Chains A and B, each alone.
Chain A
Amino acid sequence: IVLTQSPGTLSLSPGERATLSCRASQSVSSRFLSYLAWYQQKPGQAPRLLIYDASSRANGIPDRFSGSGSGTDFTLTISRLEPEDFAVYYCQHYGSSRWTFGQGTKVEIK
């Protein structure tokens, strides 16, 4: 399965809403779950888990981050960008006992 993220770069101002897309080459959803996670990575740091199972927030993640979608189309939404949210975001899928990452979306300050 190939994950394609869009756009490659998103230029926004603090306080604006960010909408990031992750599209899978085939469905990543079972009857009950979508095995799709989102990570945030800042320069020089390890990735941080934000969302798992497409829409569940990881521990300690602010509620301005939300995930949605099923099948092949998924979205990460940041409702109001804070200065610390400017980073690269990756989607990740688990299936057939293996993982796949998208190529990333960079959210930069406009």
Chain B
Amino acid sequence: QVQLQESGPGLVKPSETLSLTCTVSGGSINTYYWNWIRQPPGKGLEWIGYIYYSGSTNQNPSLKSRVTISVDMSKNQFSLNLSSVTAADTAVYYCAGGGYDRSDYWGQGTLVTVSS
């Protein structure tokens, strides 16, 4: 069974870069598409972007200029960098994996708060 675990700082200062890593266990990272999805407190889900093991990526157009998603096959991990954060980026960030059109596997989520 594929399992995912997010890791990274829970507090980021405004204007800085949010960096998260997702570690995949129970399966190889060169099998699925890997997504980042976030959920502001009390609100709905927002897709951030995905990466395939080949390095091919796509991002939400509303975030594209600030988002970098990368993959490290040697560590079975993929990562998210979101630059120039503001309070509006405060959310639970989920990593997820599956087909190109849906995610079968999800991490538990990690709350990232943007505050000075």
In terms of DSSP, what is the predominant structure of the interface of chain A? Answer: strand
**What's the Cα separation between A52 and B103 when bound, in Å?**
9
In angstroms, Cα B99 to Cα A101, docked, is: 16
Asked whether B98 lies within 8 Å of A35 as measured between CB atoms, the reply is: no
* B98 lies within 8 A of A94 (CB): no
A90 touches B44 (CB 8 A): yes
Q: How far is the CB of A10 from chain B (nearest CB, A)?
A: 16
B98: which A residues are within 8 A, CB to CB?
A: 49
The closest CB in chain B to the CB of A34 belongs to: B101
With A52-B102, A58-B104: A99-B44 Cβ-Cβ less than 8 Å: no
What total of chain A residues lie within 8 Å of the partner, measured CB to CB? 24
Q: A97-B58, A98-B58 are in contact. Are A37 and B102 (CB under 8 A)?
A: yes
**With the chains together, A37 CA to B104 CA distance in Å?**
10
When C-beta atoms are compared, the residue in chain A nearest to B101 turns out to be A94
The distance from the CB of A27 to the nearest CB of chain B, in whole angstroms, is 15
Q: Is the CB of B60 within 8 A of A98?
A: yes
Interface of B is mostly: loop
Cα–Cα, bound, A101→B100 (Å): 15
Smallest beta-carbon distance B67→chain A, Å: 12
Q: A46-B106, A46-B109 are in contact. Are A52 and B99 (CB under 8 A)?
A: yes
Q: Is A15 an interface residue (CB 8 A)?
A: no
Given contacts A46-B94, A46-B109, A49-B98, contact A101 B104 (CB under 8 A): no
Residue of B nearest to A47 (CB): B106
* Min C-beta distance of B37 to chain A, whole Å: 8
Identify 5 new A-B residue pairs, CB closer than 8 A, beyond the known A49-B103, A99-B35, A103-B44: A47-B45, A59-B104, A90-B45, A101-B46, A101-B47
Bound Cα distance A110, B109 (Å):
30
